[in-house]
Amino acid sequence: MSSLLEVEGLTTRFPGTGAPLRIVDGSDLRVERGEVLALVGESGCGKSMTALSLMRLVPKPGRVVGGRVMFEGRNLLDLSVTEMRGVRGRRIAMIFQEPMTSLNPVIRVGDQVVEAIRLHEPVSRSQARARCLELFFEVGIPDPEARLDAYPHQLSGGLKQRVMIAMALSTRPDLLIADEPTTALDVTIQAQIVRLLQDLQRKRGMAILLITHDLGVVNELSDRVAVMYAGRIVETGTRPDIFRSAAHPYTQGLLRSNPVLATRGERLPEIAGVVPSPEDWSEGCRFATRCPLCFARCLREVPDAIPVGEGHRAACHAVEEGRLEAGPLEGSR
């Protein structure tokens, strides 16, 4: 069977002071049916903008200017506005970063979920409310009948996130895009949300595109991983490929900076510098200015993604020329 979602050459631009800025620049992604693909990278790499581009929700004046987003054989970028509304929210649902700002503060949370259900299904209000109650039970909201009539400010951050998950699942989507689903939650609640997503994914068999910078969440949930840096995908592979045999210097830097792999009493390794702003992206490899293995070719040529194993690819000149080999990091497991 073909992949559920296949993204080829996705490019999203915003106006700049000079030339347009390519915030997402030729990205390729693939999500299989029933799998969890984690899209990881530092803040500012373009992960959330990639998700918004897939959903055709890029805020103006930005716009998608190239590529294909194939979902079940149809290019979402070619659909009319009406046709896209039939896909968005129904076949592909999204959980946004901040549950506190995603819910309308003056409408009861149950009514918001009921509205989402009735928008996509020809059911009565009472039927939608019964469905909402079932969803609240399913996502583990305590005392769900009372919570149907609660306002967002009366719920904790974790309960708000569960409401958002219930809303996203209300139309039984084939693909759920979860954008930083554990952001702004304390560690205990984060673990609960991760377990909830894990259970729901297994129970429903839906695919998840998980957007995060939390490698712990990636290790818990994902089947495959795509690593993004400055608008480009730099490495893709299975979870074991990435965590045990990372090939790209950026991926290796992310893993080495994980406290789990640190040696007690020694300084935690870090990637020097910060993600450059789009105005400062280099013509060649975008990681070149921070890469310890940078050489002349990196500054002038965009690296192609090359195979480094079965289903494992990395876009790096050093890897291509044999200057860096994929292999287990010290302390990895």
Residue 223 CB-density burial (10 A; 0-12 exposed, 13-18 middle, 19+ buried):
middle
- Residues 205-232 have pLDDT tens digits of 999 999 998 888 899 899 999 999 999 9
pLDDT at 331 over 70: no
Position 332 confidence tier, pLDDT thresholds 50, 70, 90: very low
Q: Are strands 224-229 and 36-40 parallel, antiparallel or unpaired?
A: parallel
Provide the residue type at 147 as one letter.
R
The answer, yes or no, to whether residue 268 has pLDDT greater than 90, is: no
Quick: pLDDT tens for 91-120.
999 998 777 778 999 999 999 999 999 988
Residue 180's nearest CA partner among 201, 154, 161, 200 is 161
pTM, full prediction: 0.91
- Torsion, Cα 38 40 43 48, to 10 degrees, reads -40
> Band of the pLDDT at 6, cuts 50, 70, 90?
very high
- Give phi and psi for 36, each to the nearest 5: -115, 115
Give the model's confidence band at 123: pLDDT under 50 very low, under 70 low, under 90 confident, else very high. Answer: very high
What is the pairing mode between strands 175-179 and 92-95?
Answer: parallel
Q: What is the DSSP track for 155-181?
A: S-HHHHHHHHHHHHHTT--SEEEEEST
